[in-house]
Amino acid sequence: MSRADSDAAGEGMLAYLRARIGRDGPLTVAQYMQICLEHPEHGYWQAADSIGKTGDFVTAPEISQIFGELIGLWCVLVWERMGRPPTLRLIELGPGRGTLMQDALRAARVSPAYLERLSVHLVEASPHLRQVQQRLLAPPSRSDTKPIPMAWHDRLEDAPEGPAIIIANEFLDALPIRQLVRSGGAWHERVVDLDPHGRLRFAIGAAVPDTGSHAPPDGTILDLREGEGALLGALRARSQPLVALFVDYGPADAAYGDTLQAVHRHAYVDPLSAPGLADVTAHAQLAGFAAKARAVGLAADGPITQAQFLGALGVVERASRLMTANARKAHTVEAGVQRLMSPTGMGELFKVLAIRSSTLPSPPPFD
């Protein structure tokens, strides 16, 4: 098998995980998730197209242009609410194929004053997706338009200081989580190790000190969203003012339960079955994220459902205008909006949360 073939079958990643566990012992779930996503040779982010019909999953901006357009108009309103600062960093975390940003910038042409003050900063871990974004957003410059300055960064901390609007769709779910499992009346680290045949399996690791007063039954799993703490630290350390918009899937309130999941070619698979080939994520829990933000001195609005957010920003009006302007595409526009808004689609599973400097007023539609 050539290197490319063995990578396509996930053999390289499996060999790496076996050697690593053999040498260092079991991995925490956070370490496992991080390796699956970030490994510089065999990690999921190195691989080809993950997002879209031919990839593993489809996201809201790929379903309808209206999603990015409404967020683009929302950014203009937020900039005005910030008091129209003379420079503005528009930062996107995990921009995927760049579609959301493209739609957002097109919609923002209603406000040339906003666009003149803007620089765009894309925080992207995947070298492949970076190239896709560069092709879409920064094509060779045309002389008739003044290009918006655009830069790519590895981490939020690398984006330059200054007043900022930060947008992130389906980003929080990719942050590594740690898991605890209840066993013998105590919490233990949930780990990934090898069975006697060299296959990956979940196991119970070292006991950890009990923190809460609850004593759930043995076998209960608790997700600890530790990556969120680092992200909030980076937001807190930035110069203010800033407003950040997070859209992600997950319940409004979560207690216990294993939300680690893996998706490969639009189907759920066992998170241990295809390391490096499947997208491994965990449900975001935006109410919990809001509470953590407040605890570090930031203000938070929401979460509300995606249907409430898009509805308040005028999704219906925008859709009917697009349908009138292009009758042949009316059906596609309608089907896309239906999928974004419907309670059985993404309308209620996806939630929207704004985090902001406490000196700023709540952004629309939370005001």
**Tokens (6 digits) for 59:** 């996201």
Widest CA span of the chain, in angstroms?
A: 70
Residue 102 engages ligand SAH in binding (rule: CB under 6 A): no
Q: Is 94 in the site for ligand SAH (CB under 6 A)?
A: yes
**Are 187 and 222 contacting, i.e. CB atoms less than 8 angstroms apart?**
yes
| Binding segment (CB under 6 A) for ligand SAH, from list 21-29, 54-62, 177-185, 288-296 | 54-62
Q: Is residue 113 within 8 Å of 125, Cβ to Cβ?
A: no
Amino acid making up residue 285: Q
CB of 180 to ligand SAH, least distance (A): 22
**Is 336 among the residues that bind ligand SAH (CB under 6 A)?**
no
Residue 45 vs residues 40, 240, 296, 333: alpha-carbon distances, Å: 8, 31, 31, 30
Choices 3-11, 56-64, 209-217, 253-261; region in contact with ligand SAH by CB under 6 A: 56-64
The residue among 287, 96, 44, 80 whose CA lies nearest residue 163 is: 80
**Contacting residue, 77, 125, 194, 330, with ligand SAH by CB under 6 A:** 125
Buried b (16+ CB within 10 A) or exposed e, 351-367: bbbbbbbeebeebbbbe
Three-state SS at 280: strand
Cβ proximity of 194 and 184 under 8 Å = no
Least Cβ distance, residue 128 to ligand SAH (angstroms): 8
For residue 197, the minimal CB distance to ligand SAH (Å) is 32
- Using CB atoms, what's the residue nearest to ligand SAH? 94
Task: Pick between residue 82 and residue 354 the one whose CB is nearest to ligand SAH.
Answer: 354
Taking CB under 6 A as the binding criterion, the range among 10-18, 88-96, 262-270, 315-323 that sits at the site for ligand SAH is 88-96
Q: How far is the CB of 93 from ligand SAH (least distance, A)?
A: 6
Contact status: 51 vs ligand SAH (CB under 6 A): yes
Instruction: Note whether 45 binds ligand SAH by CB under 6 A.
Output: yes
Tell which positions 173-192 bind ligand SAH, by CB under 6 A.
174
Looking at the DSSP assignment, which residues form a beta bridge with residue 263? 268, 279
CB of 193 to ligand SAH, least distance (A): 25
Q: Which of 96, 271, 276, 302 binds ligand SAH (CB under 6 A)?
A: 96
Residue 124 found at the interface with ligand SAH (CB under 6 A)? yes
Write the CB contacts of 157 (distance below 8 Å, at least 6 apart in sequence).
234, 237
The secondary structure of residue 233, as a DSSP letter, is H
Question: d(Cα 178, Cα 29) in Å, to the nearest integer?
Answer: 5
Closest CA to 25 of 183, 175, 191, 150: 191
Q: Which of 82, 120, 123, 200 binds ligand SAH (CB under 6 A)?
A: 123
Residues that bind ligand SAH (CB under 6 A): 45, 51, 59, 61-62, 94-96, 100, 123-126, 129, 169-171, 174
